A = this chain, B = another copy of it.
Amino acid sequence: MNKFLDKINARIAAKKTFVCIGLDPDLDRLPKQYRADAEPILGFNQYIIDATKDSAACYKPNLAFYEMHGLRGLKALTATLKYIPAEIPVILDAKRGDIGSTSRAYAKAVFEEFGADAVTLAPYMGGDSLAPFLEYQENYSFILCLTSNAGARDFQKPKLYKKVAAKIQEWHSRYGNCGAVAGATHPEDIASIREIIPEAFLLIPGVGAQGGDLEHTVRAAGNKNHSGFIINSSRGIIYADDPAAAAAKLQQEINKLV
């Protein structure tokens, strides 16, 4: 049994939503009433979770926005994770990857200490750097394949991301619990990743603030069950004047295309 797959599939079925909401609180951008709070990050996250939980397939806090505040930030993360309803899966966006003994420590941090259902990983160091995460049978790992930033052209394109996709497919065949991060900036590349990885989940950032094309992205992303993907929006939802409406709008826009 895989906690992440059980939860996300149940969530997609029950709520018909493919929306992943990035909980990336930047103090400078929080509405005034939270900035003055004793626990600004937790207060803001609770407000976002309350507003968006009916549209959320999953939540994805990026560790950076918590680590930057040291112990205080990590406490806010722990409290945020507790506040997320148990039936909504959590992807901890960590982009970790290190030699085996060190990756074991990171995997323990992410899956045991924080109790996340899933994680994001960086593939540069190869299969043995990811194995300690994949050995957590109940959890899921999203491995960077093609990212949505301009720097994707430095190394990932034109060829490396396809080699990484092929490895992800190999690891998925062996472990059954990993998929790919596939940026939405170029939907034709998502199609080529989906060809290499026919079944596993794709986590797709880059719509909204980063400007990806939703229609072509969704059409390229689905597996044969018209599922197996989630589309992330962080800033486009959490800093909207009405986060509930922004999340529901993205949910409906995606659903029209599935």
Binding site for B on A (CB under 8 A): 24, 26, 62, 64-65, 67-71, 74-75, 78, 93, 95-103, 105-106, 108-109, 112-114, 122-130, 144, 147-156, 160, 163-164, 167, 205, 210
B155 engages A68 (CB within 8 Å): no
Say whether chain A's binding surface is mostly helix, strand, loop, or mixed: helix
CA distance in complex: A149, B129 (Å): 8
B128 engages A144 (CB within 8 Å): no
CA distance in complex: A26, B196 (Å): 38
How far, in Å, is A128 (CB) from chain B's closest CB?
4
B109 engages A64 (CB within 8 Å): yes
Copies of this chain present: 2
Residue from B65, B74, B147 within 8 A of A74 (CB atoms): B74
Residue from B62, B71, B122, B130 within 8 A of A71 (CB atoms): B71
A95 engages B122 (CB within 8 Å): yes
B154 engages A167 (CB within 8 Å): yes
Residue from B26, B109, B126, B156 within 8 A of A68 (CB atoms): B109
5 contacts between A and B (CB under 8 A): A62-B105, A68-B106, A74-B74, A127-B151, A155-B167
How far, in Å, is A136 (CB) from chain B's closest CB?
13
How far, in Å, is A175 (CB) from chain B's closest CB?
15
B126 engages A152 (CB within 8 Å): yes
Inter-chain contacts of A149 with B (CB < 8 A): 99-100, 125-126, 128-129
B147 engages A99 (CB within 8 Å): yes
CA distance in complex: A95, B151 (Å): 17
Inter-chain contacts of A101 with B (CB < 8 A): 26
Say whether, besides A67-B113, A113-B67, A113-B70, A150 and B124 are in contact (CB < 8 Å): no
- Nearest 5 A-B pairs (CB), nearest first? A126-B151, A126-B154, A64-B105, A67-B109, A128-B151
